[in-house]
């Protein structure tokens, strides 16, 4: 990777992008309007991206062009400069934010052209675990109970000591029963599987494994973070019908049964930035005090494995700042 493409200044700019998006949608926290919260985040993130000196292309975004008016897959952003691919989720946890729940984030990853897996916005199977288990090899198509036992044996701990994080969905009933049958403990979450996957590689998060079915964009974003943190993820795309697979083929997907690991989802030198919208395992949420906003963010780079946590106080009275929230 050319150092000039993803330099230190660009790393700081990526965190500014997620900061403005997080502030914008945090103003809708607990107000019950998911669409308003998401749209505020999208507008703010897009406005700031278009101020950056990059030639950026959104490869993981709000959806495909016919379904997303802004930050759609294939949209070009920036004022011109080095060519970069961008994966983003302006508000990861729209329902969480609307209800005032935990673990909502604004997320962005950036890398050179070809860094991220291109696929339609569909579901994928995911299994992830932390940086301390990089050498653990599993068969992700084995039953969940076998995977938990394999993990416990490798980690030299009892099954009962393992904590598995799973999205609380009806589709996961069998998965939950299999995990419980081993004696392992479970943390069910309502939304926010990006932060849940990342938590497997964060010390003292209380999560050892993430399992379940979730969105493919979130899988790519989580993989970008794991590239920086040292964790590991196994994924497999789920194609509901031939039409979806044909769309995937047009984006470069060749085989329905491919297992994509961390480096398949996010390769090369990548940067990852996230800002907390609401309080969570990884980050604190936005605090608004009159005309000031306090944010808590993390920015990481795979090339150096540098992880920076940034607390920032923003004066919302500044005219230039307000322009990003239009």
- What pLDDT, in 10s, does the model give residues 161-213? 999 999 999 999 999 999 999 999 999 999 889 999 999 999 889 999 999 99
231 has pLDDT over 90: yes
Helix, coil or strand: residue 153: helix
* Percentage of the residues of the chain whose pLDDT score is greater than 70: 93
User: Average pLDDT in the 20-47 region?
Assistant: 95
Q: Using 50, 70 and 90 to split pLDDT, how confident is the model at 1? A: very low
| 312-326 pLDDT per residue, tens | 999 988 866 666 665
Q: Which part of the chain has CATH 3.30.540.10?
A: 8-114+270-323
CATH architecture of 8-114+270-323: 2-Layer Sandwich (3.30)
Q: Using 50, 70 and 90 to split pLDDT, how confident is the model at 68? A: low
Between CA 198 and CA 158 the distance in angstroms is: 23
User: Average pLDDT in the 239-250 region?
Assistant: 93
Q: Using 50, 70 and 90 to split pLDDT, how confident is the model at 121? A: confident
Cβ of 61: how many Cβ atoms within 10 Å?
Answer: 26
How high is the pLDDT of residue 6? 66
Q: Which part of the chain has CATH 3.40.190.90?
A: 123-265
User: Average pLDDT in the 122-147 region?
Assistant: 95
User: Average pLDDT in the 232-253 region?
Assistant: 94
Between CA 38 and CA 98 the distance in angstroms is: 9
Do 217 and 87 form a contact (C-beta atoms < 8 A)? yes
Sign of CA dihedral 45, 266, 305, 110: negative
User: Average pLDDT in the 73-97 region?
Assistant: 95
Per residue in 264-301, is it b (16+ CB within 10 Å) or e — as a string?
Answer: bbbbbbbbbbbbbbbbbbbbbbbeeeeeebebbbbbbb
Residue with tokens 């906003």: 293
Do 132 and 224 form a contact (C-beta atoms < 8 A)? no
User: Average pLDDT in the 302-315 region?
Assistant: 94
Looking at domain 123-265, its CATH class is alpha beta
How high is the pLDDT of residue 323? 62
Between CA 212 and CA 190 the distance in angstroms is: 13
Between CA 194 and CA 87 the distance in angstroms is: 13
Helix, coil or strand: residue 264: helix
The pair phi, psi for residue 223, each rounded to 5°, is -65, -40
């Amino acid at each position: 990777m050319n150092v000039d493409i993803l330099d230190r200044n660009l790393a700081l700019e990526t965190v500014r992008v997620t900061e403005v998006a997080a502030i914008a949608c945090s103003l809708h926290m607990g107000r019950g309007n998911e669409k308003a919260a998401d749209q505020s985040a999208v507008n703010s993130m897009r406005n700031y991206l278009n101020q950056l000196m990059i030639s950026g292309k959104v490869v993981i975004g709000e959806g495909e062009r016919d379904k997303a008016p802004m930050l759609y897959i294939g949209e070009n952003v920036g004022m011109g400069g080095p060519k970069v691919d961008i994966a983003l989720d302006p508000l990861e946890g729209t329902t969480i934010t609307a209800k005032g729940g935990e673990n909502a984030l604004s997320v962005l990853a950036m890398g050179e052209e070809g860094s991220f897996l291109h696929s339609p916005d569909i579901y994928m199977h995911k299994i992830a675990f932390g940086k301390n288990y990089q050498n653990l090899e599993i068969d992700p198509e084995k039953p969940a109970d076998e995977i938990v036992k394999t993990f416990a044996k490798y980690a030299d701990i009892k099954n009962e000591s393992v904590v598995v994080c799973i999205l609380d969905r009806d589709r996961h009933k069998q998965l939950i029963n299999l995990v419980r049958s081993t004696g392992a403990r479970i943390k069910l979450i309502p939304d926010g599987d990006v932060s849940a996957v990342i938590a497997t590689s964060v010390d003292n998060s209380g999560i050892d494994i993430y399992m379940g079915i979730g969105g493919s964009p979130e899988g790519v974003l989580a993989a970008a973070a794991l590239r920086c943190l040292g964790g590991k993820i196994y994924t497999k795309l789920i194609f509901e019908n031939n039409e979806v697979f044909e769309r995937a083929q047009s984006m470069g997907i060749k085989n329905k049964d491919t297992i994509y690991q961390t480096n398949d989802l996010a390769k090369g030198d990548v940067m990852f930035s996230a800002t907390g919208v609401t309080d969570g395992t990884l980050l604190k949420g936005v605090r608004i005090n009159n005309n000031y906003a306090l944010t808590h963010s993390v920015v990481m780079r795979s090339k150096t494995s540098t992880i920076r946590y940034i607390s920032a106080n923003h004066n919302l009275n500044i005219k230039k700042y307000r322009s990003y929230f239009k």
